[in-house]
Structure 1
Amino acid sequence: MSFDGAADTVVVPTQTGAAKSPVDWDRAPKPRQRGAAATLWRRRLWSLPAVAALAAAGGIAYHPIFGLSAIVPAVAVSAIVPVLVAALWNAAGRPANRPRPLLGSLVLTLAAWVLAVSASTYRSRAYAHVLPTPGLLRRIGADLLDAPRGVLTTVLPAPDHPELLVLVSATVWMAAFAGAETALRSGSTVLPALPGVLMLAVPVALSTDAPGHGVTAAAAAIGAAGLLLVCRAPGRRSPWRTLLVGVPWVALLAVAAGFAAPHAPGVGTPPDLRDNVAAPPPVRLSGVNPLDRISAWLLTPDQPLFTVAGPADPDRYWRLTVLDRYDGTTWYPVGGLRPTGGRVPDDGQSPVTKRTKQRVTLDQLDGVWLPAADRPASVTAQGLKLAVDPTSGAVATGSGLHPGLTYQVESQVPTYDPDRLQYLATASDPAYAQLPDLDAASEPIPMVEEFRKIAEKATQGSQFPYQQALKLADWLRANNRYDITAVPGHSYRNLRFFLESSKEGTSEQFASAFAVLGRSLGLPTRVVVGFSRGTQLPDGSWRVDSGNVIAWPEVEFEQVGWVPFYPTPGEAGRSGSPKNDQTTVVPPTAAPPSAPPPPSRADKDRDIAQEQRPEGVVSPIADAPEDGSTPLWWWAAPIAALAALAVSHVGVAAAAPGTLRRRRRRGPPGARVFGAWRQIGDRFGDLGMPHAEARTVREVADFGAERLPAELAERVSGLGTLVNEASYADRDVTGKEADDAWRVCTDVEHAVRRADGREKRRTRMVRALSPRTVVATLRRR
């Protein structure tokens, strides 16, 4: 008969070949067992590299948040150093054959972490670039507390600032230290992996808004956890043999997890903690409203503002900022600015056809806003602290603009198809479709009603929102003149003067009037300030001067997002009117000379503005017919219920044997002795003894004598004698005898688990999961 010893127990053979009870080296440092204790210590040390690997894998899961290059140094130091500290501290207690106090290890690892983080992450603020000062200690503590909230309120990937990276160092260090101490002080196989697995949840929860995914890091963590379990698996194999057998299976498991994880239910949609975190105050940037500067820029038109190197279409406009709030006096730039490392989140609506990259070099442009081609996707600017409004995509910097500043910007370039826009409904966004209609005394403002009447007259005959916007732009161009010397301003009074009296203005008045009149009709509108393409230089770049400034309005449509319109006379033809500047018109070169050019958006818009909506044409948004498909939840709910029932049954089946064992250990001493004997009979059933409850005490004892070591079989026989005497001779059983009975039961259970004649694991699992077995186990007394 052969038995496999547990990972943290040592079986010492006697001179007669019997085996003593398992001995733990932490509790029994006897001379005869010191060799076995040293072996066990080495086995625990073998698991420390796997602990460090698991902590490092959890740290790599931060890469969607910060980028891989920013976190690798902190992860490497924080995964290795605490493991070494724990090993050296506990190794000092080996002569006494017991680990040293945990409190000392905690103090030592805390000091080591402070020194490591000050010498790496906070190197520029540390004394001699290594030692922390009292002020730096307070700074590290405050940053560590604020780092999770800082990550959740920053557009990811986050910049690699020390106040955020300290979170990576602290969590990885904590997981590595806790895993190492657990591995060295505990005989458990699974427990040392728990800190690393729990730490993995931190980057996963914080990276819900980050681009990409952490599947690779999760697969690496699964592989490291499997390696740790292999290193600490029960058995007598040497660490080398254990690794040779287990590593291929662990590698296969990690690869399978990497392929299967993206397709697992719920992957990619974890709870977004940003919904539960109070947003910080918006980044406040001081600067003159660009809309107020249009008249001044136009009066000095030759002032060079910036240069753009990169492709620029004939109708290209460089977007500077977006103004979406109006109080009756002025339009305000977007205020929901959030820190960013350069990424601008995609709004998920714009019909992007391509991305374009430009390199912008500033000249005399000041303020805080960075110009870009349409909505930026990312901005790369060395030495600038950037902030972005996720809704509009406007990018600003708190560092201020200065001549010579250069940055690269990648933008999303949409193409708007009038055939798709023609019958679309506008977005349901009341914040952009309402005008302030009460004054400070809560009295109605008469001009709001006047604007509504003007807008209804201008859009008379319109039958859908896109046609409404086209007619409004056409009306403004046809009834007003462009004049750079016109009175500036865009308040209610200024706009009424512009629409009813002077009928002269710059793009400031035309764009503001369109946005206000549109809102009076319920259209969601906003104003954008930017620049036309500019003048091409000999090197192919484009110089933008102050005279190229222009403002235009935008209307928000369902499924498409914000669509620009150009009501200023002589300006861009993407929304209705061809440009007066004929130098920007590029003749088609791809089509044969005889082939007519494809109609532009301006051509289609002129036709749409005059046509009637045909009968039976429905909006693809509001009037989409039902396709008759079955909703997802009709079949997902029963599947979820069956899955929950299966999981519950497995849980009950796993808990039933433990419940029965605890039930048998309760009660008076006599009942506890009988419970131990019944437990032994059940375990003998795993070795092939049928109907254990129907057999006599002697039959059970004889069965154990044939299959157990001699010393343990003798103890089982003695327990059987005690059971017979208690049953038939009215013997009083003491509490000590009941405790001894359960010790015998525990040793029998260990022996049965190591016996060769035990049923195969698959057979035991099938029997344990059988509903009949579960019910019988729970009903057994």
Structure 2
Amino acid sequence: MLRAVVVPLALIGLTALAGVVLGRVYAGSLLTLLVVGSAAGSVLVSVAARRLPSWLVAPVSVAAMAGWTLWSLRVAASRADLPGGLLEVTADAARNGIPRLLTAMIPVEPTPDTVLVPVVAAWLAGLAGAEVALRTGRVLLGYLPAAGLYAAALYVVGPNAEPAIGATLAFVAVAAVGLAAPTAASPAGGDPSADLAPRVRAAVRVRLAVSAALGVAVVVGLVALLGPVVADQVDGRPVDPRRYVEPPQVQTLDENPLIRISGWALNPEQKLLDVSTVRSGAAAPSAGAGPDGGTGEGPAAPGDAAGSVRIRLAVLSDYDGVTWRVGATYRNAGRILPPSTPARDSTVETVQQQITVAELSGRLLPAVATPLEVSGARVAYDPATGTLIRPEGLAPGLRYTVTSARERPDNNLLATANVPAGAEVARVLRVADGVPDPLRRLAAQLAEENGAPYARAAAIEQFLAEHYRVVADAPSGHAYPNLGFFLFGPRNAGGQEGTSEQFAAAFAVLGRLSGLPTRVVVGFESSGQGPVRAGDAYAWPEVLFDGLGWVAFNPLPRPDNEPRPVEEDFRPTPEDPPPSEAPAPTVEATASPEPVAAPDGPIDRGGVSTPVLVAGGSGGLLLLVGAVLLTLLAMRRSLTRARLGRGDPGQRIAGAWREVTDALHLAGRPVGHDLAATEVAGQARQALADALIATRRDQPGPPAGDTETGRSAGTAEAAGMGAGGVDELADLLNEVGFAPGAATPAQATRAAEVASAYVATLRAARPWWRRLLWSTHPAPLRRRPTDRSPR
């Protein structure tokens, strides 16, 4: 009778301990209680149905399991405040239970999809163990399902909780109690050999004694062998199974939401969201180190206007010279998100937002930074950036509520705050290869007179706000060529103006070149109540400061401020300065003797005669002109050598392109700075063809046997050869613009050959006197090099 009670209780305890171990990574105790219920229900159903046929026990137990599981899912959905009916919630949990459990953020909230697998697994383990232990009497074999469930719970927890030493000792103790329970007594007082003959009885006793001794020896041996191994593993770090499961991902549309700014700016009345916010009183300043995910709204930030609320959509930390990307790792999360530690001496304000999605698409979920609790939508969360996504994607009419902790740093500490450095922030300090030299020089100039990190950031913010204008129809793009045109392009060709995309991207790149850890954030500025439209979308940069967290800056120009030309405060030195190996000769001034003549007397014959003075003066002038021409020739040749032979392959390809554009300028066919490379190549082909045709027309008639057709064919052939080379050079320039650092030395050599051949062909087609002036013309020396927009 005792065994009939002890063994079922032992099975219930072993199965329930798996829930205790797994519950360490769950929020609250709901998961543990549900697993204990599954363990008790499965074993008690087997005990109650013990007299039924064995084939009937499993269907009865499974039916009871279905009822318990549905009730558990209903309780979990109610506590998590999830929308939808029970059948809809159950179907979703059945489809996604395992991947969501393995990608959920710690602590895991007990929602239907995260409790379904543990509840069902515990019931099945209890059913299998009870049937084996109670029906066949093989208790040790009946422990195997519970032991497997316990091991699976340890594996799922992995390194996310302390070692389960207490639970493991309890598991061993409960198993031992179940094994030690006596079997039913025999008629002869409990001796199993009492009803046997004396000889047989003695043999049975010997066999039992030998079996017991062997069993004890085996157990002692296993303890001696495996004990040290198990003890050593207590302090080891287990494998985290989450690394084998891909977490929720953003769509391609959401990887770089910065490019959506220009589209929203062209349709400013498009309704994206409806927002209703409630703010509580600000908390007192707190001490502690600010997390990387925290955001302080710094001075002059757009969201600091009275009554306004800045709603964050995405944080972009990775830049490869072409595109800013999110680069976040999202984990499935429940309503309660991991808490963040406020930055030192910051003021924390609790902001509750009720947001209804209108026409906003994608998976990124807007919220005020930093969210603490979300209800009404199942979300995934990235603690490093404090951003949210909805793995199923946004849909019109989706309504959810977010409670956020909005931080404001103490502005008095910014002036003396430092910025972190090292491997931990290398990601937000990285500058991709191929930075244009004017961009580097501008960053160096802004940082030269501003040593403190905040002073550097403020200088970049002020420079952008004072020299550039915001326009709604500016084209999208924030690659190096786009930023170069935005910062240094001519105003009359669309340069020095853009949307907040270019302002934020330029600030972030200049900041990183100045040693500041920066990132770009995309979001919306809202009044706090009512619709949020596409015109409210904008981007802003943030800088990470020690002890203060991420602080936002606003490089946008102030209202009604007329921007000053960039040239007033930034005059970049020539990219290829004139060489010093052939300086212009210095002409020393000499005193001319003044002849002294006696009154009414003859001229003193000891002086220099007038013809000699005239000849000497003319000779000096000729020498001076010759020296200037030789100097210009040397400077031009040195400039060509520097362009085609110095720097990395990308710089040499750009230098070859400038040789072609300079040749067009010298040929009287200058090209505009706003033209794409393919358009310039077309003009270069036409200029070469026109020059060759004009040369043929000006030459004397053909010799005997020649025809006009032959002359036309030769002209077309030469023009075709030059056209193909210029087109090839334009393709190389576009490759450098769109993929900085990808050019090879062989391509740079080919670009130099194409440029040299084109310039020589175009020069040869000029009249003889223009060919003489071609190599000494000073225009290429004073013209500012301009990178062509790759298209």
Larger radius of gyration: 2
